[in-house]
Amino acid sequence: MDLSQFSLEGKVALITGGSRGIGEATAIAFARAGADVAVTSRKLPDLERVADSVRNEGRRALAVATHVGRMDQLQPLVDEVVAELGTIDILVNNAGTNFFSPAIEMEERAWDAVFNLDLKGLFFLSQAAARVMKEKGGGNIINISSVSGLKVQVPTAHYSIAKAGVIMATKCMALEWADFGIRVNCIAPGAIETKLYGAIFELAPEDQQAKQKEQAARRIPMQRVGEPREIADAALFLAANAASYMTGQTFAVDGGSLLS
């Protein structure tokens, strides 16, 4: 086995939602594999901390504040990464948000916030990055969906519908852009220990949160919540030449939760 197939040496990656959780872990994993990394989210101080960690791995880093749900901020983001780091070889569409609401009470505002970030922003940022990749003859896009895009979860209809859209967007982009040498794949994480995951337990009374969290972990066939690193490693495989013949696919990384 040739481990150099897992190297990202000489590549430039742009990671959305790169300030914490899965995005931060992916930035570090990619830097350790040899990539220069641009991270983006809304809060610059958090991004600067991650950019410093990337630099500590001996790679170039760039932190750019962007609201990925605002379409007018996407092209300037791509332009800045290209100006500062020279190109974009890999895009990880990881930024995402969720709100909890029964479908019967869903407000248009919550629907729009989730769809604009989790699906529309993902599509149009991919389009802007794909134009750069097409010009240079290839590239790689990794979309972060969720097991919620494959299995109904309540009370988050808008999130589940948007994340199902991410899986179909992956297939549409993969088919149309294969000709340009661009591979597009998707990861559907299960429960991963991050701020976003913790938010669901904040709905419960404070003295019951820890117990509910423990019970939720026990319902997962592997009996535990995943670590952000476990999604980052799957993303590294998809980004590297090791996955050179894969496109349009969705990987569930979920401790077996879709099995039950």
Ligand X SMILES: NC(=O)c1ccc[n+]([C@@H]2O[C@H](COP(=O)([O-])OP(=O)(O)OC[C@H]3O[C@@H](n4cnc5c(N)ncnc54)[C@H](OP(=O)(O)O)[C@@H]3O)[C@@H](O)[C@H]2O)c1
Residues labelled catalytic: 159
Cβ nearer to ligand X, comparing 67 with 171:
67
Closest distance between ligand X and the C-beta of residue 216, in Å?
A: 10
- Beta-carbon contacts of 58 under 8 Å, excluding residues fewer than 6 positions away, are 31
Closest distance between ligand X and the C-beta of residue 31, in Å?
A: 16
Residue 165 binding ligand X, by CB under 6 A: no
CB atoms within 10 A of CB 82: 17
Binding mask 67-106 for ligand X (x = CB under 6 A): xxx------------------------xxxx---------
Residue 41 binding ligand X, by CB under 6 A: yes
Residue 158 binding ligand X, by CB under 6 A: no
Omega before 155 within 30 of 0, i.e. cis: yes
Cβ nearer to ligand X, comparing 106 with 196:
196
Angle at 126 between CA 22 and CA 111, to 5 degrees: 70
Residue 43 binding ligand X, by CB under 6 A: yes
Residue 146 binding ligand X, by CB under 6 A: yes
Mark the segment that binds ligand X (CB under 6 A) among 62-70, 79-87, 99-107, 234-242. Answer: 62-70
Residue 139 binding ligand X, by CB under 6 A: no
Residue 195 binding ligand X, by CB under 6 A: yes
| Range list of β-strands (E), the chain | 12-16, 36-41, 61-65, 90-93, 139-144, 182-189, 250-253
**Strand 250-253 and strand 182-189: pairing?**
parallel
Give the one residue of 192, 236, 239, 240 binding ligand X; rule: CB under 6 A: 192
Cβ nearer to ligand X, comparing 180 with 193:
193
DSSP, residue by residue, 195-237: HHHHHGGGGS-GGGHHHHHHHHHHTSTTSSPBPHHHHHHHHHH
Closest distance between ligand X and the C-beta of residue 75, in Å?
A: 15
- Name residue 63's beta-bridge partners: 39
Distance of CA 121 to the CA centre of its chain: 12
Determine the Cα–Cα distance for residues 178 and 108; give it in Å rounded to an integer: 35
Residue 169 binding ligand X, by CB under 6 A: no
- Kindly list the residues in this chain that would bind ligand X in the complex (CB under 6 A): 16-23, 41-43, 46, 66-69, 94-97, 117, 144, 146, 189, 191-192, 194-197
